[in-house]
Every structure is written in C-alpha cells, then in structure tokens.
C-alpha cells in the first residue's frame, strides 16, 4: 500500500466526523505566500543541486506535510461531494 493510500485510510474516519463547514475549510486551505515562496526557493535549489543537508531535511518535511494536506483535502472534497449528492 502506498503512502497516500495509508494517509487516506487513516484520515478518512477523522475527517468524516467533522462538520461540513470544517471539511470545506480544509478543502479550500492554501499555504500563505511566505511559505509558498520558501518551498519554491528550496525546490529551485534542489533542482540545481544546491541544497545543504539542513535544507534537504526542511524541503523533505515540506513535501511530507504537503502530502498529508493534499490527502486531507481530497478526503474532505470526497465527503463534501457525498453530502451534496
């Protein structure tokens, strides 16, 4: 089972217990401009092979967190669609 499937399986029961408005907020959440810029800077440095070891760990943490958030948003959208249907 891949990581996304595991996240989905773990998070779905939790998100299913939230009120629809909370699911909407999760589905629509976006990173702030400062965070987006930092991730873009790290991505550029990664593509150019210029990350330090600390930056590599930081970048990987952002990638991991992004995977969790994306999975939460997908589950929230699925739940909202099931309520609308």
Domain assignment of residue 23, given as a range: 3-84
Q: In terms of pTM, does the model score above 0.75?
A: yes
pLDDT of residue 11: 86
Instruction: Outline where 1-85 has alpha helix (H).
Output: 3-16, 20-28, 33-47, 53-84
Alpha-carbon gap, residue 15 to 4, rounded angstroms: 15
| 3-state secondary structure at position 55 | helix
Instruction: Classify burial at 23, counting beta carbons within 10 Å of its beta carbon; exposed 0-12, middle 13-18, buried 19 or more.
Output: buried
When divided into structural domains, the chain yields a total of 1
Give 57-83 pLDDT, tens digit per residue: 999 999 999 999 999 999 999 999 998
């Amino acid at each position: 089972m891949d990581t996304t499937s595991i996240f989905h399986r773990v998070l779905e029961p939790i998100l299913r217990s939230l009120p629809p408005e909370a699911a909407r907020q999760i589905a629509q959440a976006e990173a702030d401009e400062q965070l987006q810029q930092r991730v873009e800077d790290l991505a550029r440095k990664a593509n150019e092979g210029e990350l330090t070891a600390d930056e590599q760990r930081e970048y990987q943490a952002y990638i991991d967190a992004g995977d969790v958030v994306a999975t939460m948003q997908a589950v929230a959208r699925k739940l909202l669609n099931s309520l609308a249907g």
